[in-house]
Amino acid sequence: MDLAQSTILVVDDTEFNRTLLCLMLREGGFRHVLNASNGTQALDIADRESPDLIILDIMMPGMDGYEVLRRLRANPITADIPVLVQTALTSSDDRNKAFIAGTTDLVSKPIDRAELLARVRIHIENRLLLRDLQAFHDRVESEIAMARAMFSHLLPSPDALVRLTRSHHLHLYGQTWLSPLLGGDLWGFWPLPDARLVVWMLDIAGRGVTTALNAFRMHALMQDLAEHAEDPVHFLTIFAERCSGLLPLDGLATLLIGIVDAIGQNFTYASAASTTPLLLTAMPQAGDAVYAGTAGGYPLGFDTRQEFVAHRLPFPPGSALLLTSSTAITAFGEHPECVREAISAQETVNETTFQQLVTSLTAIIGETPEDDHTLVWIAHASPS
Amino acid sequence: MPALPDSASPTLLDGVNNARILVVDDNRINRNLLIALLERGGFRNIATAGDGVEMLACIPEFRPDLLLLDLMMPNLDGFEACRRLRAIPDYRDMPVLVQSSLSRAEDRARAFAMGATDYVTKPLNPAELLSRVRIHLENRAMLRRLQLYRQRAEAELTLAQYMQEGLLPPPALLTRLEQQTGVRVSAHFAPSSELGGDYWDVRVDATGRLIVWLVDFSGHGVGAALNTFRLHTLLRPLTFDSFDPATFLATINQKLCPLLPRGQFATMLAGIIDPAHDHFLYASAGATRPMSWTPGDSCPHSGDSSGLPLGLLPGATYENRITPLPPQGRLFLYSDAAVELPLHDNPNSVLDEDGLIATVAALLHNPDDTVFLPRLMEALAGKGHFDDDLTAVLLTRRR
């Protein structure tokens, strides 16, 4: 860190004082020293040049140092610049006034050279360190923001979901809470002929950049193998094979893939250690209002020779399928009453039920939870 | 004593009120005064020490966020205690606010020389002391937050960087390939930050000929890296029995178009070294011009590389081209950071292809493969400052 590269702004209405300060600073190795003889000039230079430190006199005609301080703090560009007030004023009230107005430090006139340089060095070093750290933070955050945008681009758009109602007699809703760090929850659908729909949900444990990298790998793989999706068991078998060697040993990925058949009234699916799909119905003759399907299987990348099994859930009109990420299941598991309340609130299970689940989950995990959470809702478009 | 500021003042920082403050003073009355002052300022977590020895002993356990340090103390005075504190790396950044009745310039100078962060004289101005304490604590909190962020981000990005390097052919593989195909491959991979949008790889076809490709995804950093992982996943299971570069690029383009959002694209060059015809057969999707060099020539030949970048137009087609590559000949592929290199002595202009050819030409005559890339990087660093991901691959026909 090169202190000599820093810029210091000296503000004093007396030329003698300005010259003295500049001399002291120069002797201390600070070569870039700007000058201002009044408040207006000081504010202008500070705004334009963003000095690393401002040495500020208090007693000046026109705008005094207190006012300069207040305005510096009110301007976002200059609000964080450290200010060292140098004043002949000795009363406690005057000194406190400077701190209240927002100064960072204060020295009395006449200024002792050693003390001035010591304080200046402390403030400049601190400032340069902070700027460095802030620059790193901002750069990384902008890279993460771009990655997050790419990630949410992978998720089905609301438009795509709306179009399904007509073509497949289905209402499909998805709600994803994205972690402010990057996460690993993805889901998607592929339309099949004769009004059937492939739906899949991929859950990669963890968060952060490495998780997102693995999620993108998995997603690329999903797209590449889409042609095999008509047979969920076959898809998972090939997919698991392709995953071997791709994921690190501790990178757990789980996958649920299935075919929703609105006309045939069933949901056929296969699972690699995914969460269990839920069938929600408010019809008394269906028994329990919430019926959990079977899931099972081992996580991907774990055992390439596992055999997958096809499961089936009924999917009658008036019911809805709910797929959840493991984080959402955990959250609901800690508050099971939320699911029951959402269902029993209506006579039929419909979009309002889903919205209530979304509201409940938001209440449980907050607007920006640490991990990704996903809910996918599939219901018949035609009433029962 | 002047009035304290209203400790219920809303401007501040409930966060720092939990800060741990260590009061070091040999005089009990002074200690109690300071404690009372700090408590009225909203600080609860206060410990005390009676001299420098006690202070150094209690710091490791109490872990103060700030020290209020008297100077004149028996056993170990404040000056010496501060000096010793600063000698310990963990405590180099701890805010030390000296509070002393010593008021001469040389005392103050000495205190700062010993490492004090600030200095107030007794009798204290309570409001000023509290203001200073809060300023130091706020600053420390902000520094800590940013330092913690940096530590975590660096750890994570380092892991991700390791993952991205794992996409590339390892040295052991390249050694095997040289034995198998007679082509020696060396590469330089330097993303502009921890992660980048470049990716290169090699394969061998059914008849033992070497295939190579170099991809450059738009942008850089984490976003661009995500795309390299996608592409690597798509290419991984492919077999290369009969490799046609133009068809290969068209296939990759078809796969990438639905995956890349609007505005993202990739340039790519893919080709196969064909010893039977002493040439490199390749196709380009907007990549840089491949350079091939025949021993004895003063300059490398620069091949045509026009073609639509990947990800823009599904159904785009590409053209097969050749560039000569006889035995002992060299092929040089590179990402466009090398030609877009902003020059030191004229930041408004870049090295450009002619500049790169000249730089490369000077180094091609040295038959030692191991020095080409390092010397090239040195030469380029001398000319300009890289601001984009740089990948360079040198392939030499050893037979």
**Of the given ranges (B215-219, B224-228, B363-367), which has the lowest mean pLDDT?**
B363-367
Q: What's the gap in Å between the CA of A353 and the closest CA on chain B?
A: 33
Chain A residues with CB-CB distance to B3 below 8 A: none
Q: Answer whether B231 sits within 8 Å of A220, measured CB to CB.
A: yes
For residue B6, what pLDDT is reported?
Answer: 36
- A221 to chain B, any CB pair closer than 8 A? The answer is yes
Closest CA to A8 of A43, A41, A42, A32: A32
Predicted structure pTM score:
0.86
Of A171-175, B274-278, B341-345, where does the model show the most confidence?
B274-278
- B351 to chain A, any CB pair closer than 8 A? The answer is no
Residue whose entry in the numeric block shows the structure tokens 């100064």: A103
At residue B7 the predicted structure's pLDDT band, cuts being 50, 70 and 90, is: very low
Residue whose entry in the numeric block shows the structure tokens 């140098």: A86
Backbone angles phi, psi at A28, to 5 degrees: -80, 0
DSSP letter assigned to residue A192: -
Of B125, B153, B261, the CB nearest to A153: B261
**Residue of chain A whose alpha carbon sits nearest to that of B258:** A223
Query: Which candidate in B1, B94, B128, B131 is best for mutational testing of the A interface (most A CBs within 10 A)?
Result: B131
Q: Answer whether B156 sits within 8 Å of A242, measured CB to CB.
A: no
Query: Which candidate in A95, A140, A207 is best for mutational testing of the B interface (most B CBs within 10 A)?
Result: A140
For residue B11, what pLDDT is reported?
Answer: 35
Tell me the average pLDDT of chain A. 88
For residue B319, what pLDDT is reported?
Answer: 96
Chain B residues with CB-CB distance to A105 below 8 A: 118, 132, 135
Query: Which candidate in A96, A107, A151, A242 is best for mutational testing of the B interface (most B CBs within 10 A)?
Result: A96
Q: What's the gap in Å between the CA of A325 and the closest CA on chain B?
A: 22
Restricting to B residues 100-119, those with a Cβ less than 8 Å away from any Cβ of A are: 105, 108-109, 112-113, 117-119
> Is it the case that residue A268 has pLDDT exceeding 90?
yes
Which residues face A6 on adjacent strands? none
Cis peptide before B95 (omega within 30 of 0): no
Q: Encode pLDDT of B233-248 as tens digits.
A: 999 989 898 899 999 9
Strands A105-108 and A83-87: parallel
Residues A224-245, buried b or exposed e (16+ Cβ, 10 A)?
bbeebbeebbebbbebbebbee
For residue A365, what pLDDT is reported?
Answer: 86
Of A95, A104, A182, the CB nearest to B125: A95
Q: Residue count of chain A, please give it.
A: 384
> Is it the case that residue A216 has pLDDT exceeding 80?
yes
pLDDT top residue among B24 and A288: B24
Residues 6+ apart with CB under 8 A from B318: B245, B246, B249, B250, B253, B283, B284, B285, B307, B308
Residues 6+ apart with CB under 8 A from B306: B284, B286
- A1 to chain B, any CB pair closer than 8 A? The answer is no
- Judge contact between B384 and B345, C-beta under 8 A: no
**Of the given ranges (A3-17, A311-325, B212-226), which has the lowest mean pLDDT?**
A311-325
Average the pLDDT over B123-142 and give the result.
95
Chain A residues with CB-CB distance to B233 below 8 A: 216-217, 220-221, 224, 246
Q: Answer whether B131 sits within 8 Å of A96, measured CB to CB.
A: yes
Q: Encode pLDDT of A276-335 as tens digits.
A: 898 887 655 545 567 777 888 888 876 667 789 999 999 988 888 999 988 888 888 788
**Of the given ranges (A72-76, A238-242, A345-349), which has the lowest mean pLDDT?**
A345-349
At residue B203 the predicted structure's pLDDT band, cuts being 50, 70 and 90, is: very high
**Residue of chain A whose alpha carbon sits nearest to that of B149:** A137
Q: What's the gap in Å between the CA of B250 and the closest CA on chain A?
A: 15
Amino acid at A39: G
CB atoms within 10 A of CB B187: 19
Q: Encode pLDDT of A89-135 as tens digits.
A: 889 999 999 999 999 999 998 889 999 999 999 999 999 999 999 99
pLDDT top residue among A328 and B1: A328
For residue A251, what pLDDT is reported?
Answer: 63
At residue B3 the predicted structure's pLDDT band, cuts being 50, 70 and 90, is: very low
Give the count of Cβ contacts less than 8 A between chain A and B: 136
Restricting to A residues 177-196, those with a Cβ less than 8 Å away from any Cβ of B are: 182
Q: Encode pLDDT of A242-261 as tens digits.
A: 888 777 756 678 999 999 99
